[in-house]
Amino acid sequence: MNLHTLLQSIPFIKMPEHNPEVTNIVNNHRKVEPGSLFICITGHVFDGHNFAKEAVDHGAVAILAERKLDLGVPVIVVKDTTRAMAILADAFYGHPTQNLHLIGITGTNGKTTTSHLIEAIFREYKKVTGLIGTIYMKIGDRTIETKNTTPDSLVLQSVFHEMVNEKVDTAIMEVSSHALVQGRVNGCDYDVAVFTNLTQDHLDYHHTMEEYRLAKSLLFSKLGNSYHKNKKFAVLNADDKATKKFIVETSAHVVTYGIDSPSDFMASNINLENGGTSFTLHTPEGNIDITLKLMGRFNIYNALASIAAAYVSNIPLDLIVQAIEKATGVPGRFESVNGGQDFSVIVDYAHTPDSLENVLKTIQQFAKKRIFAIVGCGGDRDPSKRPLMAEIACKYSTNAIFTSDNPRSENPLSILADMEKGAFGNYQIIPDRTEAITSAVQAARNGDIVLIAGKGHETYQIIGDQVFDFDDRLVAVKAIKER
C-alpha cells in the first residue's frame, strides 16, 4: 500500500510530497525493514522518537511522529501517534475484525479461563477459532508467543489479518484494562463483550478502583450504537456491582448471568465436588443440569459467562452444554502436579486478593488435613495488594509460606516486608521460590494440599531485568522426586 493511500484513513492530515510504497508498519526500531513505516511512540519507559534515525538507517521509508524530525524521508506529524497507529494498523490490514465474529472478555479474574471455555464451545460447533490472551495467541491449533495479555494495535490487527487469511470465523480475546486505556484495541469491531468481575488489582496503574472500573467500561461503551446491522451484546455478571454502571454505559443488548442475583443465565443447586462441579442452569429456553470438570464456585461464573456468550452468538444450547461439560482445565489454573506423591500439589495463577481467596476457599472445601499456601507478589505491580494477599493466605491456610513471584526491579525482601504487614499466625518467609516450594513439598504428608500460587503457566521468573527459566510445575515435580 502506498503512503498516501494509507494516510487517507487519518482525517485532516498534511500529505507529504513523496509517496513511497509501505511494506509494513512497525513501532520498534529493531523490527524495521526496507519499506517500513516507523511509528515513534512516546512510551512509559522509552521515547520512540529517539530511535527514528536508526529506523531510517535500517530502511524505513517514512516516519510517523509527534514532532518535526529532519531525517531525509517523509515525516508525518500527528498529535498522538499511539492513536494514529491503531487507525493505520486497521487500514493497513484491511479492517480484519469486520470479517470476524469478535468476542472480547474483560474483568480482573477469569479472562483466560473464560476465553478457553468459549473457544472450546465454538470448536465443538466446528468453527475455526482464534484466541488472544495471557498464555498465547492461537490461530486454529497453531500457537504464537505473546508478551502482553492484549498486544498493541499493530500486533493485534496483523494477527486478525492472519486469522482472516486462515479462515477463522470467531476470534476470542482477553481485553486488559491497560489495553483499553492505551487504545490497543481501538479499531476492533467487537460483537460480544463479556465482563467477568471487578476486584482490586493494578492500582499502581489506575490509581483508584473507579478509574480501574472506567477502564473496563470502555469495552462496553465502545460496543457500538447502532441496532441496524449485526446485533451487539454485552454479557454482564449480575452479581458484580460494576454491572449496573456498565448497563448505563453500553447501548448494546444486555444479557446477564449470575448465581445470587436474578439473571438471564443463572446457576442454582450448586454442588461443589472434589474433581468437578454440578449445578442447574436456568436459561431463556428452560433448565438444564450441568456437570463441569472444573472446580470451584468461581468457575461456575466462568462457565455461565461462556454459555451466555455462545448463546448470543447463535450456538444451539444443547451443543453449548455438551462442550462445556467436556471442557478441561487451562494450563496453570488449578493444575494438579503429579510426581507420584500421596498429597496434592496445585499450581494456580491467583495473583490478586480475590482470586487467592477463591482458590483457597475452594481448597478448604476438600482439604482433609493441612493446607500449605506458597504465595508471592510481583514487583513493579500494585503494592497495596501485598498485605491483603498475605492476610488471605494466613486466614485460609494452615501453613502460609511467603516467597518471591517476579520481583522485577524491586528488592524481593521489600516486597516480602510489604506482604508481612498483613500476615498473622503461622507463617514463614522463604525468599527463594525453589526453596519455598521444596520446603513445603518436604513437609507435606499424606492428605495435605500444597498450593503454589501466582505464576500458573509462567515458565520464567523475572529478577531485575533478567529472565530466568522457572516453572512452578517442574520445580514441584523435582522436589517431589527428591523427597
Ligand X SMILES: CC(=O)N[C@H]1[C@@H](OP(=O)(O)OP(=O)(O)OC[C@H]2O[C@@H](n3ccc(=O)[nH]c3=O)[C@H](O)[C@@H]2O)O[C@H](CO)[C@@H](O)[C@@H]1O[C@H](C)C(=O)N[C@@H](C)C(=O)N[C@H](CCC(=O)O)C(=O)O
Ligand Y SMILES: N[C@H](CCC[C@H](N)C(=O)O)C(=O)O
Q: Is the Cβ of residue 45 or residue 70 nearer to ligand X in the bound state?
A: 45
Amino acid at 137: M
Tell me which of 3, 22, 37, 41 binds ligand X, using CB under 6 A: 41
Taking residue 161's Cβ as centre, other Cβ atoms within 10 Å add up to 19
Residue 483 marked in a binding site: no
DSSP structure string for 436-452:
HHHHHHHH--TT-EEEE
**How far is residue 192's CA from residue 308's CA, in Å, rounded to a whole number?**
10
* Binding residue for ligand ATP, selected from 194, 350, 373, 390, defined by CB under 6 A: 350
Could you give the CA distance from residue 102 to residue 382 in angstroms, rounded to a whole number? 31
Please report how close the Cβ of residue 321 comes to ligand X at its closest, in angstroms.
Answer: 29
**Nearer to ligand X by C-beta: 394 or 456?**
456
- Bridge partner list, 276: 273
The one-character DSSP state at 22 is P
Contacts of 209 (CB under 8 A, 6+ apart): 198, 200, 203
**Do β-strands 142-144 and 137-139 pair in parallel, antiparallel, or remain unpaired?**
antiparallel
- Per CB under 6 A, the segment of 151-159, 283-291, 354-362, 433-441 that binds ligand ATP is 354-362
Give the shortest CB-18-to-ligand ATP separation in angstroms.
43
Return the SS3 of 180.
Answer: helix
Q: Which lies closer to ligand ATP via its Cβ, residue 3 or residue 347? A: 347
Annotated binding-site residue? 149: yes
Tell me the β-bridge partners of 273: 276
Contacts of 142-148 spanning 24+ positions with Cβ under 8 A: 148/176, 148/178, 148/179, 148/184
Expressed in angstroms, the distance from the first to the final Cα of the chain is 62
Nearer to ligand X, 81 or 403 (CB): 81
123 is in an annotated binding site: no
Interface residues for ligand Y in 375-434 (CB under 6 A)? 378, 381, 405-406
Is 405 annotated in some ligand binding site?
A: yes
Residue 196 contacts which entry, ligand Y, Mg ion, ligand ATP, none (Cβ below 5-8 A, type-dependent) = ligand ATP
DSSP string, 154-167: HHHHHHHHHHHHTT
Which of 179, 127, 181, 135 lies closest to 153 in space, CA to CA?
179
Q: Does 397 bind ligand ATP (CB under 6 A)?
A: no
Residue 162 φ then ψ, to 5°? -60, -40
Residue pair 202/177 in contact (Cβ under 8 Å)? The answer is yes
> Of residues 3, 6, 48, 310, which one binds ligand X by CB under 6 A?
48
Task: Based on the shown chain and the rule CB under 6 A, indicate whether residue 174 belongs to the binding site for ligand ATP.
Answer: yes
| Distance (Å, whole) CA 138 – CA 136 | 6
Check whether 283 is labelled as a binding-site residue: no
Nearer to ligand ATP, 113 or 404 (CB): 113
Choose the binding region for ligand X from 22-30, 214-222, 266-274, 335-343 (rule: CB under 6 A): 22-30
110 is in an annotated binding site: yes
Q: For residue 130, say whether it is annotated as part of any ligand binding site.
A: no
- Binding segment for Mg ion among 52-60, 174-182, 228-236, 362-370 (CB under 5 A)? 174-182
The C-alpha atoms of residue 443 and residue 439 are separated, in whole angstroms, by 6
Does 243 belong to an annotated binding site?
Answer: no
- At its nearest, how many Å lie between ligand X and the CB of residue 154? 9
What SS3 class is residue 257? strand
**Of ligand X, ligand Y, ligand ATP, none, which one sits near residue 150, judging by CB under 5 to 8 A according to partner kind?**
ligand X
Q: Is 14 within any annotated ligand binding site? A: no
Q: Which stretch binds ligand Y (CB under 6 A): 48-56, 331-339, 418-426, 454-462?
A: 454-462
Element (H, E) at 299: helix 297-311
Q: Mark the binding-site residues, compressed into ranges.
A: 107-113, 148-150, 176, 182, 184, 381, 405-408, 454, 458
Residues interacting with ligand Y, by CB under 6 A? 149, 351, 378, 381, 405-406, 454-455, 458
Residues interacting with ligand ATP, by CB under 6 A? 107, 109-113, 134, 149, 174, 196-197, 298, 301-302, 333, 348-350, 354-355, 358-359, 456
Residues interacting with ligand X, by CB under 6 A? 27-29, 41, 43-46, 48, 51, 147-150, 152, 176, 178-179, 184
Q: Mark the binding-site residues for ATP, compressed into ranges.
A: 107-113
